[in-house]
Amino acid sequence: MRTFGVAEFLFILDAARWTLALSLVAFIGGSVIGLAIALGRVSRRAWIRTAVAAFIAVFQGTPLLLQLFIAFFGAPLIGLSVDPWVAASVALSLNSAAFLGEIWRGCIEAVPRGQWEAAHALNLTSWSRMRHVVLPQAFKIAVPPTVGYLVQIIKGTSLAAIIGFTEITRAGQIINNATFQPLMVFTTVAALYFLICWPLSLAAGRLEQRRSLL
C-alpha cells in the first residue's frame, strides 16, 4: 500500500491544471452564451424574452450534476463519443451561461435610463446604442459579480469528477483509493481549491467595495 507522500501530492497538484482548464473553457463558453442570454432578456421582442427566460429557468432550476449526466449520457444519442471533457464543457458552459446571463442582465438594467434615452435622442441604432453606450458602462458594473461567479464555476468543475473527468477532486479520490489516508488526501484537495478560490473571492469583495465608493 502506498502512503501519502510527495509523489501523491504532485499527482493531485498536477490535476489542478485540468480544473483550471475546464473552468476556463466553461467561463469562455458561458460568457459567449451568457452575453446572448443577457441581451435576449432585455430584447424588445417578447418571444425572445420568453425563450431566454425558459432557458434560465431550466438551467437554474435543475441540479448541475443532472445537467452533467444528461450531457454525458445524451451525447452518444446524437452520435458523439462519450467524452467527459466534452460533456463537462458543454454542461458547465450552459449552466454558467444561465447564471452569468442573469447577472449581466441586472448590470445592463443598472445603466441609468437617461443613457439609453440620450443614445436614442442621438438617433443611434439599437445595435450601436448597446455596443457604444450601454455595454461599456454595464461592463464596469459587471466586473465584481463576474469575478465572484468565477469561484462558483471553479467549484462546479469538481462535479465533473463524478462522470470521470480527472481534475483535483477525482485525483483525490484516486489517491485516496491507493493510500487509504482520506484525512490527508481530502484536506489537501480542499486546500488546493481554497488556494485557487480564496484570492478570487477577496478580489471580488475588493472590487465590489471600490465600486460602491464611487
Partner 1 sequence: MNYEFDFGLVLSHWRVFVWGTWTTIKMTLIAAVSGLCVAVVCAWVKTSGPRWSCWIVNAYIELIRNTPFLVQLFFFFFALPAVGLRWSPFVAALVAMIVNLGAYATEIIRAGIQSIPRGQIEAGKALNLKPWQIFRYIVIGPALRTIFPALTSQLTLLMLSSSVVSAISADDLTSVASNLQSQTFRSFEIYLCVAAIYLALAIGMNGLFKLVRRRFLDYPQQGVT
Task: Output 34 or 156, the one with its CB closest to partner 1.
Answer: 156
- Binding residues for partner 1 (CB under 8 A): 57-58, 60-67, 69-70, 73-74, 77-79, 151, 155-156, 158-159, 161-162, 169, 172-173, 176, 181-183, 185-187, 189-190, 193-194, 197-198, 201
Within its chain, how far is the Cα of 63 from the centroid? 14
CB of 85 to partner 1, least distance (A): 18
Within its chain, how far is the Cα of 168 from the centroid? 17
CB of 28 to partner 1, least distance (A): 20
Q: Which three cell numbers stand for residue 191?
A: 486546500
Task: Output 197 or 207, the one with its CB closest to partner 1.
Answer: 197
Q: How far is CA 57 from CA 120, 123, 145, 157, in A?
A: 32, 35, 20, 21
CB of 33 to partner 1, least distance (A): 19
Task: Output 79 or 114, the one with its CB closest to partner 1.
Answer: 79
Cα separation, 20 vs 167, whole angstroms = 9
Task: Output 139 or 186, the one with its CB closest to partner 1.
Answer: 186
Cα separation, 23 vs 153, whole angstroms = 6
Task: Output 38 or 163, the one with its CB closest to partner 1.
Answer: 163
Task: Output 8 or 39, the one with its CB closest to partner 1.
Answer: 8
CB of 35 to partner 1, least distance (A): 23
Do residues 101 and 33 make contact, with C-beta atoms less than 8 angstroms apart?
Answer: yes
| Sign of the dihedral defined by the CA atoms of residues 19, 189, 191, 211, in that order | positive
CB of 209 to partner 1, least distance (A): 14
CB of 104 to partner 1, least distance (A): 17
Name the DSSP letter for residue 16: H
Q: How far is CA 83 from CA 9, 71, 98, 109, 164, in A?
A: 26, 10, 23, 39, 9
